[in-house]
Structure 1
Amino acid sequence: MKTLLRIVFILTVLSASVGCIEDGIDTSPSAQPEFSVDTLKLGVVFTDEPTPTSRFMVYNRHDKIINISNIALRGGDGSFRINVDGFSGTSFQNVEIRPKDSIFMFVEATLRPNGLPELTDFNDVIDFTTNGVTRSVVLNASGQDVKRIHGLVIDSDTGFDAVYPYQIYDSLVVASGATLTIAEGAVLHFHDKAFMRVEGTLVTEGTPQRPVNMAGDRTGNVVGDISFDLMASQWKGLTFAPESRGNRLSHTIVRNTVAGVTADSLSQVSMLNCRLRNSAGYSLTGRYADIRLTGCEVAEAAEGVMALIGGKAEISNCTFANYYLFAGLGGASVQLYHYDGESDDGSGMPLLEASFGNCIFYGNGTDLSPGDLEGSKITIHRCLLKSNGSDDANFIDCLWGEDPLYYTVRNDYYFDYRLQPGSPAIGAGYSALVHEEGSRDFYGVDRGPNPNLGAYQAAKEE
């Protein structure tokens, strides 16, 4: 008897539970869907190209089915497209959502060229009509017109202005005997597998107010808060071919590459207040080249931020920092090769002559590649190193085993190599080691008589 009563009780409870959620359609005007966003922002995209697909959720918070009698784009200019729970179209009728359930809405757009160098906002609205009541979600995207380049070879002196960004597909090559001059504020976006090769001469005229930017052409976030701006391998990189001469880069940012910037045999490259970062290889490679770096940040690379193989390098007030996110580090931040009889690679090329002054070598992993520099023509003068060591003929007046106190917080995807108050690198540099052209840093701040070590004199703006 007790068992029978228990069964009856259980069935009664189950019946009551099921009764709370009915399969009937709620026709009350108050039975409305809810949305995970009020406005869906698709971000900044290039015109005439499809955006990445974005999505939002439509929820039924009620105890009965709701029937959305009509879902439709209001009109706009036809840039936006929608997909309702797996079905594409511009309007949908009688879409039912079961009690306490939800559906996905997917949105993408192809924005028409706007004929303006400025960003232009594009908007549309998705209307949801349920039980005679219409609710809406706003769609927004910003379109940027670009100049598209496919396999361009520059064979005479040419200038790139900053009116429109450039999008480079395949390749951009500066032929021998030609000079490409890139104006301050110019932006070059490189598509997947694209590259830039300089056989002649490259001059960039970036300024603190308007740097030159070379980066991948992906926008938005890869996932969560990780933006494509942090991702390597979006384009192959910038190469200075053998015997390319007279290259001068000022306030230029090169990022998102497979192989960073490469200065090949006997090429000549001078960089002032540049940032080279986010490479799947090295951010900078010098191979028997003549390199001059002043006030540069060389950072975030899987194999190491810089490799110098033979050649000549004059380096002042640079920051070498490796906090690469997406792979284990392949070696020391700065790697030196072909600098003495023991490291001679048999190429017959001149051994490395390198001077580092007022620099910082600090980040995850080892700062400098192992090796005895005694007898080499490499000097590291008044630099801060992560390693513990002592001065000798090659290491002069260095700060050993010190933390420069960057603002960088790797786990928060925040990379800022300016110095926090209390950093031992503040005011620790020697003015005699500052290159003449490097009296001001990337932000235009004067280094003065007591320069900081590293690339940045500027304090972080709070």
Structure 2
Amino acid sequence: MKKFLYTFLILSIAILWSSCRKDFVTVPSSGQLQFSKDTVFLDTVFTNIGSSTYNLKVYNRTDDDIRIPRIQLGEGENSRYRLNVDGLAGKIFEDVELLANDSMFVFVETTIDINDFAGGTQFLYTDAIEFDSGSNQQKVELVTLVQDAVFLYPQQFSDGTTETLLLGVDDEGNETRIEGFFLDDTELNWTNEKPYVVYGYAAVGQNKILTIDAGARVHFHANSGLIIGNQGSLQVNGALSNTEEQENEVIFEGDRLEPVFADVPGQWGTIWLTNGSVNSEINYATIKNATVGILSDKSDDPDNPMLRLNNSKIYNSATVGLLARTAHIEANNSVFGNSGQASLYLNLGGKYTFRHCTFANYWSNSFRVFPTVLIDNYIDLGDGTELFEDLVQADFSNCIIDGNNAIELLFDRAETNSAIELNYNFKNSLIKFDDFQNRFTNNELYNFSNNTIFDEVDLVLNSNTIDFKNPENNEFNIGENSVAIGIGSTPNTPLEIQFDILGFARAMMSDVGAYNHTTFSDED
């Protein structure tokens, strides 16, 4: 009986609601639709690589429930664009209903093969979304720049697996591998004719040299990068540019070209100079949005740097800009900018020379516990053991070390092995070091009055006195009011630092850091 009464009650409610419901009656649209934009720009895409999904909002501002007889792409089923209208995918839609004073989303994406069109390495592909027809027709234009590229990727095997690189074998014989491939001899010269898009890790083999020409653009997919193997070399031959387009510079970044990804850290892996790589040189390059900008392992040559870095910038690294482990590196006129941990981490000793470099970390994406520059001579393996290596040399001259923390330079010396050296020297430099809690007052590592180690070094308590142009945006040019002006010294200096990173000649008492000072206009 209870079951019967319950069923009767439900049926009664359903009948009552049905009898009271107003029928949904629509009228044809009359060309009065409104749109969130009149043109949808899908930004730049690489050939045969799908774009991001973009949206258009369609408004019915009238008091009538309307029916749009037809929504379609101008080229119909032949269009390279794809639509999703109110939850349905396709290219042509019939009788789309839109309630009074309501709106709906239209989503747009594309995949285009540049080889379907004649000539050039890039072209503008256009179409339109057409709403209705005849005198009531309204259009929203679609525009995409399609760019050809050289795609480099690991081999795909018939069993569904992907080519990998062997990184090493542990004590139990287990291999460590990473998705990647060796570049063959025909792939060892990257030009500026087309961008390069790399999937996985592209490796330079033994006694091979990867040469990258001025003006080249290199894009890495997620979890991708470069590996320079034993006795291999990387030669980046960027040159000074004359415009803001950086036409002669070599740029390493991710493969997402939309503006929203322009400054997103961690989009790709790293440039990895492995143990035994030799004589790499990077000139006029920008390395941005990586996990680690450059990772450099142990150097086997105490006399010749495994990497020379000149007039280059590393920034927006998710963890570390330059991470060097027992490496041998020389850097001039270079900028190590915002990073999730440290801009520069000299780990497990090594040998280093930095001249006229700017190290500045104004990371704001998360809480940062590392200083801008961290230097140590050991590594904790996590099982109660430590590895030790001498820090033979870490020389900084005419440099700036700054950031949005109070203390931006830290040393970490191996306490369990006092025989391991930790040698460093700073000359004519600015260092952000505001020890307001007096944590380092009696620490001999920070004896800034020792002129043998800290020669003509000024401690910065307020970063504003350095007068960076826009540090949060990795613009570390210094202004005309900077304390960095005229405190450097460049007598008998190598050619690499007689000019600043922008090609301007340095005075005898030079400005420190990578840039000579300038005047910032309102437009800047």
| Structure 1 length-normalised TM | 0.86
Q: 1:113 to 1:47 in 2, by over 3 A?
A: same
What corresponds to 1:355 in structure 2? 395
Following superposition, the deviation at residue 131 of structure 1 comes to: 8.7
Say which SS state the counterpart of residue 104 (structure 2) adopts: strand
Deviation at 1:301, TM superposition (A): 1.4
Separation in 2, partners of 1:194, 1:409: 28
The CA deviation at 1:116 is 5.4
Contact residue 315 and residue 474 of structure 2 kept, 8 A:
no
Is the Cα contact below 8 Å between 1:23 and 1:64 reproduced in 2?
no
Asked if 1:184 corresponds to 2:243, the answer is no
Matched, 1:441 2:470: no
1:242-285 Cα shifts (integer Å, max 9, x gaps): 12111111011112212221111116110001111122221101
Partner residue in 1 for 2:410: 369
Shift of the alpha carbon at 1:388?
Answer: 4.1
Aligned match of 1:235 in 258, 262, 268? 268
The reply to whether residue 306 of structure 1 matches residue 337 of structure 2 is: no
Q: 1:317 to 1:433 in 2, by over 3 A?
A: farther
1:315-326 pair list within 5 angstroms = 315-326=354-365
Please list the CA deviations of residues 312-357 of structure 1 after superposition, one character each: whole Å capped at 9, or x if unmatched.
1110111111122322113111001119xxxxx9645333411101
* Equivalent AA in structure 1 for residue 42 of structure 2: L
Checking the alignment, whether the CA contact within 8 Å between 2:28 and 2:68 is kept in structure 1 is no
Give distance in 2, aligned partners of 1:312 and 1:214.
Answer: 26
Residue of 247, 250, 267 corresponding to 2:283: 250
Separation of aligned partners in 2, 1:277 and 1:436 = 25
Q: Any idea what the Cα deviations from partners look like across 1:342-388, whole Å, max 9, x if unmatched?
A: xxx96453334111011111112231014689x95311111111114
Once the two structures are superposed, what CA deviation does each residue of 1:179-201 show, in whole Å capped at 9, x if it has no partner? Answer: 11110011111111112111201
Q: Say whether the 8 Å CA contact 2:376–2:422 is kept in structure 1.
A: no
Q: Deviations over 1:147-203 (max 9, x none)?
A: 010134136593211101111111211112111111001111111111211120111
- Residue of structure 2 equivalent to 1:150: 153
Contact persistence 1:316–1:435 (CA under 8 A):
no
The CA deviation at 1:28 is: 7.7
Measured in 2, the distance between the counterparts of 1:72 and 1:49 equals 23
Aligned equivalents of 2:513 and 2:492: distance in 1? 12
Asked if 1 retains the 8 angstrom alpha-carbon contact of 2:346 and 2:374, the reply is yes
Amino acid at match of 2:409: L
SS of the residue corresponding to residue 384 of structure 1 reads strand
Report the equivalent of 1:275.
313
Q: Kindly tell me: are residues 118 and 437 of structure 1, through their superposed partners in 2, closer, same or farther at Cα, counting changes over 3 Å? A: same
CA contact (8 A) 2:320 2:341 kept: yes
Residues 1:140 and 2:143 aligned together: yes
1:120 corresponds in structure 2 to 123
Q: Partner residue of 1:66?
A: 66
Structure 2 CA distance for aligned equivalents of residues 409 and 61 of structure 1? 45
Report how far residue 130 of structure 1 moved: 6.9
| Structure 1: distance between partners of 2:119 and 2:271 | 29
Q: Secondary structure of the residue that 2:235 maps to in structure 1?
A: strand
Partner Cα distance (1:88, 1:287) in 2: 52
Q: 2: distance between equivalents of 1:372 and 1:259?
A: 23
What are the residue-to-residue correspondences of 1:180-219 with 2, within 5 Å?
180-199=210-229, 200-209=232-241, 210-219=248-257
Instruction: Output the CA distance in 1 between the equivalents of 2:29 and 2:54.
Output: 31
Superimposed CA distance per residue, residues 281-320 of structure 1 (whole angstroms, 9 cap, x where no aligned partner): 2110111111001011111211211111311111011111
Say if 1:433 and 1:327 are closer, same or farther in 2 by CA, change over 3 A.
farther
2:132 match: secondary structure: strand
Structure 1 residue 457: Cα displacement: 2.1
Q: Is the 8 A contact 2:338 2:361 kept in 1?
A: yes
Which residue type is aligned with residue 405 of structure 1? Answer: D
In the TM superposition, what are the counterparts of 1:84-99 in structure 2 within 5 Å? 84-99=85-100
SS in 2 for 1:377: coil
Aligned length: 428
C-alpha distance 28-279 of structure 1, shift in aligned 2 (>3 A): closer
- State whether residues 68 and 131 of structure 1, in contact with CA within 8 Å, keep that contact through their aligned partners in structure 2: no
Distance 1:325 1:119, change over 3 A: farther
Change over 3 Å in CA distance of 1:346–1:134 after alignment to 2: closer
Amino acid at match of 1:364: N
Contact 1:150 1:170 in 2 (8 A): yes
Which residue number corresponds to residue 391 of structure 1?
A: 449
Structure 2: segments with no counterpart, 5+ residues: 1-21, 155-180, 242-247, 301-305, 379-384, 415-420, 436-447
Tell me whether 1:431 sits opposite 2:472 in the alignment: no
What SS is found at the alignment partner of 2:512? coil
User: What is the SS of the residue equivalent to 1:407?
Assistant: strand
Task: Measure the CA separation in 2 of the matches of 1:101 and 1:400.
Answer: 61
Specify the code of the residue in structure 1 equivalent to 2:410.
S
Q: Are 1:22 and 1:64, in contact at CA under 8 Å, matched by a contact in 2?
A: no
- SS of alignment partner, residue 315 of structure 1: strand
Percent identity over the alignment? 27
Q: Which whole-Å CA distance do the structure 2 matches of 1:131 and 1:60 have between them?
A: 19
Task: Identify if the C-alpha distance between structure 1 residues 25 and 440 changes in structure 2 by more than 3 Å, giving closer, same or farther.
Answer: same
**Could you tell me which amino acid in structure 2 is paired with residue 72 of structure 1?**
Q
Instruction: Quote the RMSD (CA, aligned, Å).
Output: 2.6
Whichever residue aligns with residue 220 of structure 2, its letter is F
Bigger mean CA deviation after superposition, 393-402 or 237-246: 393-402
Give the Cα separation in 2 of the matches to 1:28 and 1:171. Answer: 54
Q: Any idea what SS the aligned residue of 1:218 has?
A: coil
1:384-434 superposed Cα distances (whole Å, 9 cap, x missing partner): 111148432311112212531112253xxx331111221111233212385
Structure 1 CA distance for aligned equivalents of residues 119 and 497 of structure 2? 36
1:66, distance to aligned residue in structure 2 (A): 2.3
Once the two structures are TM-superposed, the CA of residue 42 in structure 1 deviates from its matched residue by 0.5
| Mapped partners of 2:275, 2:79: distance in 1 | 50
Q: Please state how far the C-alpha of 1:219 moved relative to its aligned partner.
A: 1.9
Per mean C-alpha deviation after superposition, the further-off stretch among 117-126 and 43-52 is 117-126
1:173 to 190, 203, 211: 203
Alignment-derived partner of residue 38 in structure 1: 38
Q: Residue 432 of structure 1: SS of its match in structure 2?
A: coil
Match of 1:5 in 2: none
Please give the alpha-carbon distance, in whole angstroms, between the structure 2 residues aligned to 1:172 and 1:371. Answer: 34
8 Å contact kept, 1:273–1:442: yes
Q: Which moved more, 1:421-430 or 1:34-43?
A: 421-430
